[in-house]
A and B are shown apart, each in its own frame.
Chain A
Amino acid sequence: MRKEIFEKFLPLTFEEREELKKKKLKKHDIATIYLHWFNALVWFVELVTGSALIISKYYRFTPEFWQKIWLEIFGSRGNMLKFHIMVGVTWIIVLLIYGIFGYRNYLLGYIKNMLILTKDDIEWVIKRGQLILGKKVTLPPQGIYNGGQKLYAWDVAVGTILIAITGLVMAFHLGGAGTVRWAIAIHFLGVGMVVMGLFVHIYMAAFMPEERQSFFSMFTGYVNELYAYEHHFKWWQEMVKEREKWLESYKKEIEKELQTHEEAKA
């Protein structure tokens, strides 16, 4: 492989591509994968029960048959609300546990990797839009998450905070009726915000052929290096350098272990 490809994003040769394709990089920790799918499940369950709970003429946005289906399944709307609250509270507790115990590894990581937008990220969002419209532009190199993903991360972070707080306010009547009445509208706004981005997120991450690696990394944790090079060059660069260092110390460690093993034998 050429030395330059480590320094600058360049079109790769056939051999380089084949070599990178064989190598893997870890993109997600197991904890992250579980949180992602746990969150997805909670959102699904809460969207279903939440949408079936809003039945009054003024605010309803789902058809009657939909509400009937879920009413029949849960037996009563009271049960459905209790379930909705129970799942929501569980969700908040799990998020808090991640935030507290995983403060250094996961919460700070989320903030650093997903919420801090760089100039390249903003450029990426603009150019990605131009690409969709058929303009021929090259995308700037990205970190572990691209500008689009970061925007959605903001959406989710703000939405999650709004939903969690207003949910607790409504469920436990915090702050009196004057607060509860605002919480209803804000809860709906928070959900609307994340759902609007959700379809784009699902399509971009799970359906687009170019993002196949990214989709499966949400199960396995790994992406191949060709994908990393092409889609997240800045992250790839950093990871390859870090791995170099790690490999050296790892090698030394193994050698040391073998040595002690030999000595013990002798």
Chain B
Amino acid sequence: MAKYAMVINVQRCVGCHACELACKAEWGVPEDMHRTWVKPTHPTALKRGGGLFELVAAFYVGQCNHCDNPTCVPACPTGATYKREDGIVVVDHDLCIGCGYCVDACPYGARYIHPELKKVDKCDFCAPRLEKGLEPACVETCITGAKVFGDLEDPTSEVFKLVYEENARGITSPEVNIGPNVYYVGDDKKVDLIINKFPPRKPELPTPASLFEKLLKPLISLGVVASFLGASVAFFVQLFKGEEKFE
């Protein structure tokens, strides 16, 4: 089985947003929603030796990271969000009810609720295109070749080389590291800047979801089991006693 990953060369990205547009065109993403996005870090002064400063700027190209331990998957109450064997995290629209538990659970803000479909949507590495042997739309359209897509289990692939032989890094923090499969290479300073400016946020569960998980589930399970046991005990007593022959 494959393990798909994306590598973004921050040195090459010129912030033209072509990937974002290609994605919107391909999947009908609403105007103010994103499956993938480009955000500028803005020029930032970094300290250099000898009391000097250096201005660094980069473009953060974000999307679903198809994490190894996705926090969105267990948060989904219907099982609409799941991780395929090839590593792609997908949303089954037949099952999604648009509650948005997963939206809160994603550290990257990679999910949105589609205003017309009322279902959650996000990057799926263009899974339907992959089936046709095509590359993801954003990769195909990137004018500088900053986006590289491939299989991490294939040692001859470009992503394999970039991830394992160069210093490619996912967007993680000491608190949040769920194994993202979108990597950033190029200039270490720029990658650092992106990670500092756009760190993953702590995955959260909305109040009703944690209420369900932490309170309702144990409480109701206990109540149902107790009720069943009570009725069972009464029936065992009845079995032991027997019934009147005549009434």
Interface: B126 (CB within 8 A): no
User: Which residues from 39 to 64 on chain A have a C-beta closer than 8 Å to any C-beta of chain B?
Assistant: 53-59, 61
Chain A residues, CB < 8 A from B75: 56, 58
Shortest CB distance A19–B (Å): 15
CB of A180 within 8 A of CB of B97, answer yes
CB of A181 within 8 A of CB of B228, answer no
Chain B residues, CB < 8 A from A53: 78-79
User: Which residues from 142 to 178 on chain A have a C-beta closer than 8 Å to any C-beta of chain B?
Assistant: 170-171, 173, 177
Interface: B4 (CB within 8 A): no
Interface: A93 (CB within 8 A): no
**A residues adjacent to B (C-beta < 8 A):** 53-59, 61, 76-79, 81-82, 170-171, 173, 177, 180-186, 188-189, 192-193, 195-200, 202-203, 207-209
Closest B residue to A85 by beta carbon equals: B97
Instruction: Given A173-B97, A177-B113, A181-B208, decide whether A59 and B73 contact each other with a Cβ distance below 8 A.
Output: no
Chain A residues, CB < 8 A from B92: 77-78
CB of A200 within 8 A of CB of B95, answer no
Sample 23 A-B pairs with CB under 8 A, ordered by A number: A54-B77, A54-B78, A56-B76, A56-B78, A58-B75, A58-B77, A58-B212, A59-B217, A81-B78, A177-B99, A180-B97, A180-B98, A181-B100, A181-B209, A188-B220, A192-B224, A195-B224, A196-B227, A199-B231, A200-B227, A203-B231, A207-B235, A208-B238
CB of A189 within 8 A of CB of B220, answer yes
Bound Cα distance from A107 to B101, whole angstroms: 38
CB of B217 within 8 A of CB of A61, answer yes
Instruction: Given A181-B209, A199-B227, decide whether A78 and B217 contact each other with a Cβ distance below 8 A.
Output: no
Bound Cα distance from A180 to B103, whole angstroms: 13
Instruction: Given A58-B74, A199-B231, decide whether A180 and B99 contact each other with a Cβ distance below 8 A.
Output: yes
User: Which residues from 198 to 231 on chain B have a C-beta closer than 8 Å to any C-beta of chain A?
Assistant: 205-206, 208-209, 211-213, 216-217, 219-221, 223-224, 226-228, 230-231
Shortest CB distance A156–B (Å): 14
Closest A residue to B213 by beta carbon equals: A58
Bound Cα distance from A180 to B208, whole angstroms: 10
Dominant SS among interface residues on chain B: helix
B94, B100, B208, B234: the one contacting A185 at CB < 8 Å is: B208
Closest B residue to A132 by beta carbon equals: B234
Chain A residues, CB < 8 A from B238: 207-209
Known: A181-B99, A188-B220, A199-B224. 14 other contacts (CB 8 A): A56-B78, A61-B217, A77-B78, A81-B78, A177-B103, A180-B97, A180-B98, A184-B208, A189-B220, A192-B219, A203-B230, A203-B234, A208-B238, A209-B238
Chain A residues, CB < 8 A from B79: 53-56, 77
Interface: B175 (CB within 8 A): no
CB of A56 within 8 A of CB of B228, answer no
Bound Cα distance from A77 to B91, whole angstroms: 13
Bound Cα distance from A54 to B221, whole angstroms: 14
Interface: B118 (CB within 8 A): yes
CB of B230 within 8 A of CB of A200, answer yes
Chain B residues, CB < 8 A from A61: 217, 221
CB of A81 within 8 A of CB of B227, answer no
Chain A residues, CB < 8 A from B118: 173
Closest B residue to A82 by beta carbon equals: B94
Q: Pick from A54, A171, A193 the residue with the most CB of B within 10 Å.
A: A54
A182, A186, A196: the one contacting B224 at CB < 8 Å is: A196
CB of A170 within 8 A of CB of B97, answer yes
CB of A185 within 8 A of CB of B235, answer no
Instruction: Given A57-B74, A61-B217, A203-B231, decide whether A78 and B212 contact each other with a Cβ distance below 8 A.
Output: no
CB of A196 within 8 A of CB of B223, answer yes
CB of B243 within 8 A of CB of A209, answer yes
CB of B234 within 8 A of CB of A207, answer yes
Interface: B32 (CB within 8 A): no
Shortest CB distance B240–A (Å): 13
Interface: B165 (CB within 8 A): no
Interface: B85 (CB within 8 A): no
Bound Cα distance from A26 to B146, whole angstroms: 81
